[in-house]
Structure 1
Amino acid sequence: MEVNVRLFGDLREGRFEQQKTQLEENSRVIDLINKHQLPLEKVAVCFVNNHSVEFGQPLQNGDTVAFSPPIGGM
């Protein structure tokens, strides 16, 4: 399946701002984090299709997943 990934803030450093990523069926947000080697301590917020989710959230083909580091008082 294919999902669209968006990175914000420091998570972009040495990576990308937005890209499409291929994943196996039944993948979860944590699988996407691991695939892109994002440091868990720097991922403060995760959104799937503009809804805040936990790392165990299952993904579906065509989802848009956004990761953000801590900002301000987060």
Structure 2
Amino acid sequence: MDIVVKDSNGTPLSEGDTVTVIKDLKVKGSSTVIKRGTVIKNIRFNGSEDEIEGRTDKVKGLVLRTEFLKKA
């Protein structure tokens, strides 16, 4: 069973892709905010078609909902 992960525009994503955040997001458990336009490189899938894992310069080990991302 293959999981098809899509961004907010319906574009299929692959592991290792680069995505851009389309909305300011608060990080749970931290006072950090990921600003709109932040680029997240080298994404990984975690078994859910609605979530990906990635990292930014400030925060490592992020789990992000695909509804807030678009393929770069």
TM-score by length of 1: 0.32
TM norm structure 2: 0.33
Q: Whose relative contact order is higher, 1 or 2, with alpha carbons under 8 Å and at least 6 apart?
A: 1
